Amino acid sequence: MSTDDPLPGVPELDDPQHETPVTAEFETGTANDPPVGTDGENPTTVTVNGTQVTVPPGSTVIDAMQAADDEVVTVDPGADSLDEDADVPALCYYDREGDVSDEIGPRSECRTCMVETDEHGVVPSCSFPATDGLTVETDTATAEECRSVNLDLVLSNHNLRCTTCNGNGRCELQETAINEGVDHPRYGVFDERSEYEPLDDSSSFIQIDRNKCILCNRCVEGCNDVQVEGVLRIEGSGEDTRIGFQSDAETMADSDCVSCGHCATVCPTGALTEKDIGGAGTLPLPGFTQRNSVGNVIEHEEVETLDDTTAPNRSPAPGSAGSAGGEAEAAQEGRSGVARYMAQSKRRASDFFDKYGRKAMLAGEHTAENIAAQTLPEGRLFDIASLVSDYRLGKVDKAETTCGFCAVGCRFEMWGKDGNALGVQPVDDPDNAPANNFSTCVKGKFGHDFANSKKRLTKPLIRNENGEFETASWDEALDYVAGRLREIQNEHGVDAVSCLASSKGSNEEAYLVQKFARQVLGTKNIDNCARLCHSSTVAALQQTLGYGAMTNRINEDIGEADAYLISGSNTTESHPVLATRIKQNVRDGADLVVFDPRKIGIAEHADQYTRTTPGYDVAWLNGLIRYLIEHDLHDEAFIERNTKGFDAVKQKVQAFTPEKVEELAGVSPDELQSAAETLADAENVVFGWAMGMTQSSHGTENLLAMADLALTLGQVGKPGSGLSPFRGQNNVQGGGGDMGTLPGSLPGYQDPADDEVGEKFAEAWGERPPAEPGLKVPEMLAEAHEGNLRGMYIVGENPALSEPDIQHAGEALDSLDFLVVQDIFMTETAEHADVVLPAATSPEKHGTFTNTERRIQRVRASAEPPGKARQDWEITQELAARLGYDWGYDHPREVMDEISDLTPIYGGVGYERLESGDEHGLQWPCWDEDHPGTPYLYDYEEGNFNFDDGLARFVPADGGHPGELPDEEYPFTLTSGRVLYHWHTGQITRRVEGLMSHVGESFIEINPTTAAELGVPDGEYVKVESRRGDIVVKATVTDRVGDGTLFIPMHFAAGAVNKLTQETFDPQAGIPEFKVSSVRVEPLGPDADPDVLRTPDAGAGSTAHGND
């Protein structure tokens, strides 16, 4: 509401701060912040309201004010202002604890933190240096008037539609105005709807309402300084100043945004909000939304998902017979006249409501807001909005939990309502999110909508005599499963069945699956999907260092290294939050060396990127070791003190001359020398890798060479250094290894053949686990083909799409006498099953995950499993009971207690301890209740490697050729991997519309030279064929891949890359060679066959199911 009261003058201020233009051309990785804080290396003493305060170097006045006792002054910067009244509000200042938050500002835009000094007059406390001897007063009339005037100036340019704002109840401006007692802002508010900028709703995830923007610059800094992505900027001048895009895009959808959500997380108003949480605190009336409040909206164009059709977004043209809409229209043709008429009438009614109903709602909402604005003071509107949000947000279920996607182990507060997952917000205390603080990636921030899918499994299903699934009660299904498994074992022996555990579920669930296999079924055949990703890492590190796990920490070591060697890791897409720490550190001066066949995102930040020939990593790794030794750049003292076997490696690498390395791996002598000298010159080096190194027929040899390189440089067992396998799935470290879901390893990597270990488990379980190693996953499928394996219990895994040569894998699953699948969707594997059991997913679970840095963290539920779906641990326990074993667990914490009793490296782990330390979680080994956990393994001085003598082992690495080489018939080398917006086999991410809007279908990357030779234009479909089969995918012409090398992602059933991959395995780890296959490519032109496009390569409707 405007007022006719006379406007006070704004005092002239002498501001000695550095001047930075509001509009700037930003560099990626910096928001061009002006320097703030004191210079020098000494602390300073400041007097605040008569009390002396000493602060460290680099401090600002606001730091001194916060260091003072609350009785002297209270400051509520940024989000803290939501808590209570304060003497100084400091609206736009972001002061969340933690070094990630330090990247945000201050930029001193809103000036609501003004204080008075004897020396300089009125100054902004957030950015003014706390110089020695400075005298600060917060409650002078001039300071208070400045804060009040500046707050009113902010409000004057702000759309105060609070009850319809997505940020209602989370808006720092709203709370500051309430706490400051604002009733009538001096300069009115921005309520001329005709002057509003259109609301940018084009993104699936983030809504932009520039009419609510206060130009605090936080979003730009979150994008540039935290995410180091360089998408946002402040542009324009005067009244036209706005948040824009560095690419000059007009909308969020057209920009280069990767949807990490940092901008929405740090925004203090409703200018940038998360669409999944949007409306949680608004007035619960139809039509009363932020979209309708603004009126003019740039709409989002939705794409298809797996919930719509089996082959989303692969139609030649939207709405054609190949699209979801086209399928629906085509289906109507087969209906009766009445049914077709009713369906058409319903569609017309929906279209009519969309057109005219929205107009009516807009008119009603605008009228109501106008009446309120004319009759109520702004202060009263604030109060009403606050009451609405308090009530509405009070109905939201909130739980601190751990992300269920990759293994970085980000933690956040998950929101849920009415049994459904809503979205995530940062945890209140950054110490409860040690891996990420407030950082997220697109999947962790916005990728949880799959949990609400209408396609979730809600009841047990049993296949009838006609081959069709019928719903069943839990008793019927569990009785049938138990009976069939026992029947098979009675007829064919205990090892005629096997179990496949999940790396997506909790530690407790994985532990129970291996216990079910070994104790209840008595079989030695237990494995999990870690076989397909990092089994070669475990094999190599156990041989060289002792533990098959990351030696260091994410923030303190990876984030603080002096140099990096990264190979086979598409870090920015597979582990985005971890990648931000690397990008920030490289921006600040660390050296980054990347060796990879593809010029992936992390390579864009590298000091040296070297393109390698796929399949020859041992060559360049051994070449680096040879160079270091030849030029006396190795750490002789460390090698002498802490290792054995160095001479054997020294001899082995002599054959890998620079010329030989170039011949095999494509790495020039100059590149080899540059990388070796960069790594040798660095005080601390982190070696990072993922499946580009592991998924090879000699993956174990690759990682033996990597470990040898680290030992040669002495870069193990000290801060800022170490060997860092970046694990893929959320709990692949814990559930995929620590919990004993391996055929030759009990929980904690204990040897089942060790009599002392076996007797310990026999005493606890009443049965000694089998001493012999069982079948690995590929061996299980091979034995099923041969008729030796008759039954499988698969929990939360999808081998019908994740195994190499999926035709062969599908045949193996079909050849089983009995298959039971426990999952949340009808996956490609579940379609082969005899029984499907509906389970819970991560937003619905209690338990623990162990992240890639060995940190065990709590998982909590904020939503309920749909229908009659159950927790995985409950299902497995019920099956055990039907087979005569009454486990009697009432909660996962009791399972963890048993894990702690039987697993030495988890010996001190319990739910209370995980949350009682200075930061959340514990890193194993944690031997007992008094042990603090182990931040980084081993010790540079003392060794302490996990062998009886404490010495690390150099193990010579042998190179070799890939299992398949290009030839005249199949001239190209195909590799595969992940993309940012999808995960594993895509069963959950392909159901999230926003993720599909970024990458909606499978594709193939082709180098421009290769594409020109083939006559393949960008965006057209091609047929890709190997000796195993063929698929059709859309071409992306890019120089990310080299000439003759191709790339296809692993996440899609339509355009499934594993229809092409080969069954060649690492002899030690059993991991398949996903990264090298020989293929040929055929252009299909602009008129690809719609029937081919909408036919998936695995699962429902695929050719594998006989639907040609």
3-state SS class at 88:
strand
Q: In what order do the strands lie in the sheet with 685-689?
A: 608-611, 591-596, 563-567, 685-689, 722-725
The rounded distance, in Å, linking the Cα atoms of 685 and 842 is 35
- Compute the C-alpha angle 563/566/568, nearest 5°: 180
Nearest by Cα to 708 from 602, 634, 788, 775: 634
Which tokens belong to 979? Answer: 């993309």
Can you give the pLDDT at residue 175? 82
The answer, yes or no, to whether the previous bond of 106 is cis (omega within 30 of 0) is yes
Can you give the pLDDT at residue 20? 35
Can you give the pLDDT at residue 138? 86
Residue 266's φ and ψ, nearest 5 degrees, are -95, -10
The rounded distance, in Å, linking the Cα atoms of 452 and 450 is 5
Q: Give 48's strand partners.
A: 51, 136
Cβ–Cβ under 8 Å, residues 864 and 844: yes
Domains of the chain are 44-298 (3.10.20.740), 461-530+736-901 (3.40.50.740), 535-726 (3.40.228.10), 972-1105 (2.40.40.20)
Could you tell me where the DSSP H helices lie in 906-954? 911-914
What totals of helices (H) and strands (E) does the chain contain, helices first?
Answer: 33, 37
Q: Give 397's strand partners.
A: 416
Q: Within 13 Å of residue 749, how many CA atoms lie on the same side as its CB? A: 18
Which tokens belong to 527? Answer: 């494995």
**Model pLDDT for residues 722-753, shown as the tens digit of each residue:** 999 999 899 999 999 999 999 999 999 999 99
Which tokens belong to 787? Answer: 């008729």
**Model pLDDT for residues 660-707, shown as the tens digit of each residue:** 999 999 999 999 999 999 999 999 999 999 999 999 999 999 999 999
Strands 44-48 and 51-55, sheet pairing: antiparallel
Q: Please, which residues have CB within 8 angstroms of residue 358's CB and are 6 or more apart in sequence?
A: 287, 292
Residue in this structure with the two tokens 């049965």, named with its chain if needed: 767
Average pLDDT by stretches of 10, the chain with 1108 residues: 46 41 42 71 90 90 84 55 57 77 78 89 90 90 89 82 83 82 75 82 93 90 90 88 92 94 91 88 72 80 93 69 40 43 49 49 48 55 79 89 95 91 90 90 95 96 95 97 97 97 95 98 94 90 96 92 97 95 94 97 96 96 98 97 97 96 97 98 96 92 97 96 94 93 95 96 96 94 95 96 94 96 97 97 95 96 94 97 96 96 96 86 95 94 95 93 93 96 95 96 97 95 96 96 96 96 92 94 90 87 49
- Give the chain's largest Cα–Cα span: 95
Residue in this structure with the two tokens 């900027």, named with its chain if needed: 233
The rounded distance, in Å, linking the Cα atoms of 542 and 538 is 6
Strands 1045-1049 and 643-644, sheet pairing: unpaired
Cβ–Cβ under 8 Å, residues 130 and 58: no
Strands 643-644 and 420-425, sheet pairing: unpaired
Can you give the pLDDT at residue 379? 63
Q: In what order do the strands lie in the sheet with 411-417?
A: 397-402, 411-417, 420-425
The rounded distance, in Å, linking the Cα atoms of 930 and 510 is 26
User: E strands, 464-556, where?
Assistant: 469-471, 497-501, 526-528
Strands 847-850 and 855-859, sheet pairing: antiparallel
**How many angstroms separate the first and last alpha carbons of the chain?**
68
The rounded distance, in Å, linking the Cα atoms of 1029 and 466 is 30
Could you tell me where the DSSP H helices lie in 803-852? 806-815
Residue in this structure with the two tokens 């540079």, named with its chain if needed: 940
Which tokens belong to 1020? Answer: 């057209």
Strand (E) or helix (H) holding 818: strand 818-823
User: Dihedral of the CA atoms 790, 795, 799, 800 (nearest 10)?
Assistant: 80
The rounded distance, in Å, linking the Cα atoms of 825 and 478 is 18
Strand (E) or helix (H) holding 993: helix 993-998
The answer, yes or no, to whether the previous bond of 925 is cis (omega within 30 of 0) is yes
The rounded distance, in Å, linking the Cα atoms of 147 and 142 is 9
Strands 272-274 and 297-298, sheet pairing: unpaired
Cβ–Cβ under 8 Å, residues 823 and 832: no
Nearest by Cα to 1032 from 311, 219, 331: 311
User: Dihedral of the CA atoms 150, 151, 157, 159 (nearest 10)?
Assistant: 180
